Amino acid sequence: MRVLITAGPTREPIDPVRFISNHSSGKMGYALAKSAVAMGHDVILVSGPVTLSPPEQAELVRVQTAAEMTDAVLSRYDNADIIIMAAAVADYRPKDHLSQKLKKSDGDLTLVLERTTDILAELGTRKRADQCLVGFAAETENLRENAQGKLTRKNLDWIVANRVGQADRGFAADTNAATVISRRGDVIDLPLTRKTDLAREILKIIMSVAP
């Protein structure tokens, strides 16, 4: 299988020295890429800025912004059998990207943000019947309901929902728990474990169970 995986945060520049980003470490996406390589698949890893080493056998595409990730993913989508969007793509970016460093003044500063492309939603509109599209949902509340809503809205085959805002799971942690939900309504709870083990379980499910 040709597996396209995204990982890490994006950085949305304010000026040449500042950006808006999030706490994504890329660990879950990199663990998925490593597991997919170990299972013998062809893997393309589109990665935002992280400090992890990628699996040697994967093709690595480094990006910074949501716009760069959009281009990198859309141009490789048609050749992919399985697409897993594990990246924490910024939903908004500063409307004006200043070419010179912003100088402070005494008063408050208001930044105007504009929406980025929802890559996963765009992939959902282009999905072929032979492609499997997997999204992630990071939630602090109403995990299952919110994730199921995203699965339907974005035309996904699977969504991996996990809780964020707790020290032992989500973003920077080495461990995570997840609920994997299929288009058909299958709900599979995966208990707290190392992200590397969780990645293998997620891949096994999406490759063996019809969504």
Decide if residue 135 touches ligand CTP (CB under 6 A): yes
Residue 16 Cβ vs ligand CTP, minimum distance, rounded to whole Å: 23
Q: Select the residue interacting with ligand CTP from 83, 87, 161, 198 (CB under 6 A).
A: 87
Decide if residue 89 touches ligand CTP (CB under 6 A): yes
Decide if residue 80 touches ligand CTP (CB under 6 A): no
72 contacts 46 by C-beta, under 8 angstroms: yes
Decide if residue 3 touches ligand CTP (CB under 6 A): no
146 catalytic per annotation: no
Catalytic one among 22, 142, 146, 155?
Answer: 22
Hey, which residues are catalytic here? 22
Which residues here bind ligand CTP, judged by CB under 6 A? 66, 85, 87, 89, 91, 116-120, 135-138, 150
